Every structure is written in structure tokens, then in C-alpha cells.
A and B are shown apart, each in its own frame.
Chain A
Amino acid sequence: MARLEKPEDLENLRDSLREENRGFRLRIIIPNGTCCRASGSQAVIDAVKAEISKQGLEKEVFLHITGCHGFCQQEPNILFEPGNIAYCRVKPGDAKEIVEKTVGNGEVIERLLYVDPLTGERIRREGDIPFYKAQDRQLLTNNKLVDPLAIEDYIAIGGYGALAKVLEGMGPEEVIREIKASGLRGRGGAGFPTGRKWEEAREAPGDEKYVICNADEGDPGAYMDRCLLESNPHAILEGMMIGAWAAGAGMGYVYVRHEYPLAVQHTRNAVMQARALGLLGENILGSNFSFDIEIARGGGAFVCGESTALMASVEGKVGEPRPKDIHTVKEGLWNKPTVLNNVETWANVPSIILNGSDWFASKGTRGSKGTKIFALTGKIRNTGLVEVAMGTTIHDIVHNIGGASDGRAVKAIQTGGPSGGCLPASQFGLPVDFDSLYDAGSMMGSGGMVVMDEKTCMVDVAKYFLKFLQDESCGKCIPCRVGVSRMLEIVTDITEGRGTRAQIDLLKELAETIGQTALCGLGKTAPNPVLSTLRYFGDEYLAHVDEKRCPAGVCRPLIRYAIDPEKCNGCGVCVRSCPHEAISGQKKEVHAIDPEECRKCGICAAECKFDAIMVN
């Protein structure tokens, strides 16, 4: 493809690409993101491809390899358009039948359809599956329309049209006005108004300015940004271009964590394609706007999600935050004015420019506009990526989309990662937006939602986050480096049966002090997991302290494993599976656990098919 010299070139290319796509009677869409691959999507793609060529259908049907659609639980899946027929958990061995029947004759294979676990009904259309039906997919919907490695696909669905619109007739001030009017707030968790950030950077003195995309999605349990970058990288690049135009930046960086190799690969490819078409580089689309983007890989440090630490890392240094008395919009990367936005924030920009701020602001709540993507995981039936309008209740997300828990009752939901907190089921009526969850002692965060049931110990969850934060503290300030360690010691005492009531008070005091004195946002919010579990699950702490009992049966020093002689049939699975050789017994005779050798890891309980391992 030739370099696009002016906006008309882009339109002409778009028209010709759309014409090409009309030649196919059927599109077979197979998502192939990181999670899809983990479930075996590549083997399914290979098998379907081989079968299509064997049956000589290459000219009629188009095999479209896309990024993840979001319903990770049911992968690998295949979608057929037109028709919207969806197959779930497909195996390579199904390829022949699929190509013969569905592709060849339009026949639907019933056994591959999604089965609603509540009604037992088989659902034909993807859009009718309850998981998808209850969502409002504005950003994620494009994932099934584009091959992330093909800029042509993005252009065909209208991509880079917002950039052209801006360069043709919207001044930077007008762009900023539009973004401000939309009410877009930073999706990374802090919720700072995006338009205001751009405006402050624009007004900051200096010719050299930067934009950065924060793709260092460090919150464990969150993967919205990975999915967006992997599946539709050009949308993020286009957003950055528009932001750079508005702020007056000439250079941009995508800071993406190295733990996401596919996202790195797809973003790199997208940058090269955009450069080849002249959408990055000098005089973009014939305008006076020149801008380029580079990729910087993160080194696996949670603190680098913090803006100043991230910028230090882009500069090739140790990722330590600095005090923010001077904001990064004035002195950021290399001490120059810098706009840092999260992946999802950038991804929202092109559609706001194309559809207008009113369109965007029509969704959401008073203070939080638009839609938000959440990663719904943990002890829940339907795990995956969920996009809903801001203000949707936790209950709707967990029950209507997530299908609730598989068997046990849902006890809590963790939002906001290590900076957030745990909310009990009694709070599930809360609308999810920037402000409501904060008032309840948690935060929306970047969008991780981990569901917990009665087998999850909330004190253990608090300990988990403290351990995470202790490992990840950069060590620069004392409240975080020392304070979090002291909190972890106390919570460890509690989970190991040495806790006292006085320690709980000390824990609260420490939490308060760290919150007030730590240097960066990550340190200041570090006590949140403890504070929120103390607030809503204080009885669990007391059970550990007063009765030396872990109600969920998780904390090892407080539990004991034994074999139920009524249920044990002597199959030997536990004997073989115990890594510490603590279980003995002859075949077909009741087995026994040696309490001296047992390290209470719980592997036997997880492996036993007959529920014969008891936790006391």
C-alpha cells in the first residue's frame, strides 16, 4: 500500500478495502488472543484452515483471525457472520464437520452451541448468550471485526477517520473542548478528567512534549488493557495521535509490560504499519502534524504503573516514583510536559471524536461517563471481559453477566487490585463508577473484579495483597517499605493463630499512617485491602484471633486435614498426589493422613474425586 498523502487517500483506501471484503459470502471468525491460545485456539485455526482448503472453499469464505472477544471461559470459540452463530469449546477434531455442515450447507451443529447452565437451553446466536446480552460493548465489539495484525481491517471499519477529521478541521483547542465535554476520565483507576490533562500539557511552556500510553497493567486479576492492545492496537495508536495533536506532542511511547508478549508483538507491528502508510512520521496525511511512537517494554515492576515511576522507567532508569508537587503534565518524561493515559482511555478517544461528546456522555452516571471494561474472574461461572455502562450495579455484573458462583454462595468481590478493597455481597447494589465504590471503602480501579465465595478467607486475601505490596514496594519511602512489612507481620500472626485484639488496633493505626504519609499513590492506597476487609469482614478476623479458627478453612496453622472413612474408597489418588508423602493406605482400604508429615497444602482435597478429605 502506498503512503497516504491526504485525507482523501485514506477514504479511497477504505472504499477499496470494503469492496474487497464484499467478495466473501461467509466470515469464519476465530479469536486467537493469549487466553484463547492457552485454551488451544491455534490448533483449531490450523485444522479449520486445512479443511477449508481441502474442500476448496478459500475463495468463498474468509477465515478471520481476531483478538479475544471476551468470553474466555468458553474458548476456543468460532463465530460465523452473517448469522452470528457461535460455537464454544471447539476442538481441532470438530473442524471437518464444521466446514462440511456449517460452512458448506449452513447447517448448525447443535452440540457445539453454548448451553445456558441455568435453563439447559442451547443458544445459537452469540448476541443471545446471557454473558454478552447484558453488556454494552462499545470498545470490545471491534475485537471481532479486526485482525490485530492487519491495519487494513481497522481502516475498513472506519479506523483513522477520527485522526483525519481532527487534522482536516479541528484545532487542538476544539479537540480538548470535545474531550472535556464528553466527561471522559482516566480508566487507569484515578479517574482524572482526560481533557483537563491534555489542556494542562498544552498550556505548559516548551516545544518538546510527550504522550505516553500506560500499558503496564500491574493489578493482578486485571487484563482489559492486554486484550485491547492485543486485539485492536490501532485504536490505541489513533487515540494517542489525537492526544498528541491536542497537547502539541511530537513523540509518544507505549509502555507495555513484558509479561504480555503478544501485546508487545501486535503493538510493534501496528506501529510499523502506521509508519508505512504515513499515519506516523512527518506531515501526517499532508498536514503540518508530525508524530511518532516507540514501544518501551516494562521490566515486571508493579510500581511502574505509577506515572512518575513509569516515566523513569521509559528513560531507562530504576522505576522509583518522585514527589508530585510538580505535575507530570508540566514536568514529566525527561522533565518535559507529558500526557500519560491508560490504554482504555486512549481507546475511547477516536469514537468520541467521530460520534461526538454528547454520544459518549449519554452513557454512564453523572460523574462517570461512557462504558468501562471489567475483568470478571475468580469463583464465578462465566469468567471473561465485560463491558458495561458506568453505573451498572455489581449485582448485575456478577449475577446477570457472570452467572453467579458455581455452587457455593458468592461472599465478596475484590475491585481495584492492591489499591482497592473487598466489598461484601450486601453492597452489591452499588453502582460501579469512580465515586460510589470509593465511598464504600474500595475503588473501581482499572477494572479487575475478583469474585470470592465462602471458601475464600478474607484475612488470607488481605495477607495476599500485603505480601504482594511488600514484594513490589520500590523501597524509596519508609511508610511503604517498612510499614507494609509490619502490617504483613501482624496479619501473618493472625492467620497463624498468634494474633491478639490489640494487634488489630495497631493494624488500623499503621494503615492510617501509611495512607497519610507514603510517597506515591500506590503506597498511599496499600492499606486499603486490610481496611476494607476489617470494615466488612471483622468477624473473620475475630474468629482467627479469639477462637483460633479460620471459618473458610484456608489458613493452614488453624486447620487440620483428615480422611472421612465413610467416603474414602481407597482409590489411592491422594497417596500419589501428596507431594510430602504424608498419606498412606492400601488399595481399596481407607487411607490415613499422618499429621506429623502433613503440611496442610490441601492438594489431596483438590485431587480427591469423592470429597473424602475433611477440613477441621
Chain B
Amino acid sequence: MATANLDSVLEGRRSQPSQLIEVLQDIQDLYGYVSEDAMEQVAGGLGIPLMEVYRVACFYKAFSLQPRGKNVITVCTGTACHVRGSDLLIDQVRGQLQIEPGETTRDGLFTFECVNCLGACALGPIVVHNDAYNPHVTPGKLRKMIDKAEEEGKKEAAYGKTGKA
């Protein structure tokens, strides 16, 4: 498991309960989610009950307790994006990928998320594909973005198979 060794994250923060959120942030950045195993190690490392670690991990939106897909599609639903049609973008993803916000496609290729505001309001509606911010997105642009990522994902999967053989 990728989260087997958290020493580097816990380094210099052991027995400091106030570092909990920072530690979870680093784990989220490193592995894309916070696993049960990771939470146990954090609880031990910082000297906090596991229950409290779980509570904090559930409270803050920054933490995902499930592994996320290869492509994370994040639709900003801030006010400025909303009045410029971010609802259409949510429908586009729903219709195209058949998943709801917070879910990941079965093939693990896509995770669909919504965020309250990314602070790039002047360029709304905004969609973030992994780390790339896309301004003034329309449903059509989003459809092509997803199509392209899907194609690349399939190509890679096929290449991976032949590569192994």
C-alpha cells in the first residue's frame, strides 16, 4: 500500500496534536486520499485518539477517504461561476460519466468533485482538470476535455497491457 510509510510526513511533528490538519493535508497531497491505515499511523504518531483523527478527516472537505481517479474533474460552484452557468457543467459531467459529485467512475479513470470557490471568479465558470485551471468553460469544452482524457486513459491501458506481455 502506498501509505505504508508516513515517517517523512510525521518527521518533526510527533506528539504534536495541533499538527493534525497539516499532517493530513500532506498525506492527501502525497497519496491523493487519506486511508484508514494512514489515519491509524497519524493517531499513533501525534498521540491523538483514532476517533478524533477520523472526525477531523471527515469534517474538512480537503480530505478524501477513498482513492481518487486518475483524472480529477473539479467544477467550481462559487457564486460567480453559478450565475455564469456552472450548473450546466455539473449536468455535463453527470450525463457523460454517469457519476455524482464525490464519486469515481468504476474504471478509476475519473473522479468528479465540486468546490465552493477557487477564487478565480473573474474567469468563471472554472473547471480544474487535475492541477490545470480552465477558464470560461462551456459544456461543449468540458465534453471534449473528458473525451480526450478518456481516450488517453484507454490508450495507456492498452499500452500497459501489451507492455507487460
Contact = CB atoms under 8 A, between A and B. Distances in A.
Interface of A: 34-35, 37-39, 72-73, 217-223, 226, 258-260, 296-302, 313-319, 375-379, 383-385, 414, 417, 448, 450, 452, 456, 461, 464-465, 468, 471-472, 474, 573, 577, 579-580, 599, 601-603, 606-607
Most B CB within 10 A of own CB, among A219, A220, A577, A601? A220
B116 A302 contact: yes
Contacts of A259: 115, 117-119
A579 B95 contact: yes
A378 B143 CA distance: 23
Contacts of B143: 577, 579
A296 B138 contact: no
B83 A378 contact: yes
B96 interface: yes
B18 A316 contact: yes
Interface string B113-143: 0011111111110100000011100111001
A258 B25 contact: yes
A130 B89 CA distance: 33
Given A220-B80, A258-B25, A450-B83, A38 B59 contact: no
23 contacts: A38-B123, A38-B133, A38-B134, A72-B122, A221-B78, A223-B122, A258-B62, A297-B22, A300-B115, A301-B61, A317-B20, A318-B55, A318-B56, A383-B121, A450-B83, A577-B143, A579-B94, A580-B95, A601-B87, A601-B91, A602-B88, A606-B138, A607-B140
B70 interface: no
A316 B20 contact: yes
Interface in B50-106: 55-56, 59-63, 77-85, 87-88, 91-92, 94-96
B19 interface: yes
A313 B135 CA distance: 31
A352 B55 CA distance: 43
A577 B61 contact: no
Contacts of A34: 118-120, 133
A39 B137 CA distance: 12
A603 B21 contact: no
Nearest to B58: A318
B63 A379 contact: no
Contacts of A219: 117
> Interface of chain A, helix or strand or loop or mixed?
mixed
Contact of A456 (B83, B121, B126): B83
Interface string B1-43: 0000000000000000111111011000000000000000000
A301 B116 CA distance: 9
B117 A218 contact: yes
Interface size grouping (class) on chain B: 35 or more
B25 to A, nearest CB: 5
B117 A38 contact: no
A579 B96 contact: yes
Nearest to A262: B119
Contacts of A376: 122
Given A299-B25, A300-B61, A464-B79, A38 B18 contact: no
A297 B21 contact: yes
B110 to A, nearest CB: 14
A379 B79 CA distance: 11
B124 A315 contact: no
Contacts of A461: 83
Given A300-B61, A316-B18, A607-B139, A384 B115 contact: no
Contacts of A464: 79, 82
A464 B90 CA distance: 14
Given A298-B62, A375-B121, A474-B59, 11 more contacts: A223-B122, A259-B117, A259-B118, A318-B55, A377-B121, A377-B122, A383-B122, A448-B121, A450-B83, A464-B79, A606-B88
Most A CB within 10 A of own CB, among B20, B79, B143? B79
A39 B85 CA distance: 19
Given A221-B80, A579-B96, A314 B60 contact: no
Nearest to A294: B22
A317 B88 contact: no
B118 to A, nearest CB: 6
B83 A452 contact: yes
A375 B122 contact: yes
B21 A313 contact: yes
Nearest to A448: B79
Contacts of B77: 220
A77 to B, nearest CB: 13
Contacts of A221: 78-80, 117, 121
A545 to B, nearest CB: 22
Nearest to B48: A316
B74 to A, nearest CB: 10
A222 B117 CA distance: 8
Nearest to B114: A471
B116 A220 contact: yes
Contacts of B96: 579
A317 B53 CA distance: 9
B55 A579 contact: no
